[in-house]
Amino acid sequence: MALDTLGSTKWRVNRGVVGVLVNIWASGGNIPGLVDREDTPMQEKPSSEDLSEVQKWKWSVRKAKKINQERHSQRCDTELELSVKSPSF
């Protein structure tokens, strides 16, 4: 019964808040709750042939790639949300 009441309640988008979010997104988006628009930088391959250094580098590259893939997905979601809620986006 409570869900029926909530489902029938009219709602609207607060255009002022969406406008602020669009501006934040356009300027880089790196605030809590909003994904960073920049990728995590990849470390350069170490010049030494030390196996432990190379292994650390490989792990850091894998981690950065994983983070960047997740951010890409989150960026797509954010842009879709903003385009739906803000016709001027």
| Domain spans of the chain, in order of start | 2-85
Q: What confidence tens digit (pLDDT) does each residue in 26-61 have?
A: 888 778 888 888 899 998 988 888 899 999 999 999
Task: Label residue 64 by pLDDT band (50, 70, 90).
Answer: very high
One-letter identity of residue 81: E
Contact 29, 37 (CB under 8 A): yes
- Residues 6 or more apart whose Cβ sits within 8 Å of residue 85: 13, 18
Contact 76, 68 (CB under 8 A): no
Q: Tell me the CA distances in angstroms from 89 to 1, 22, 56, 72, one per residue in order.
A: 37, 7, 42, 19
User: CA-CA distance, 75 to 69, in Å (whole number)?
Assistant: 10
Proportion of the chain above pLDDT 70, given as a percent:
92
Half-sphere exposure of 30 (CA within 13 A, CB side): 6
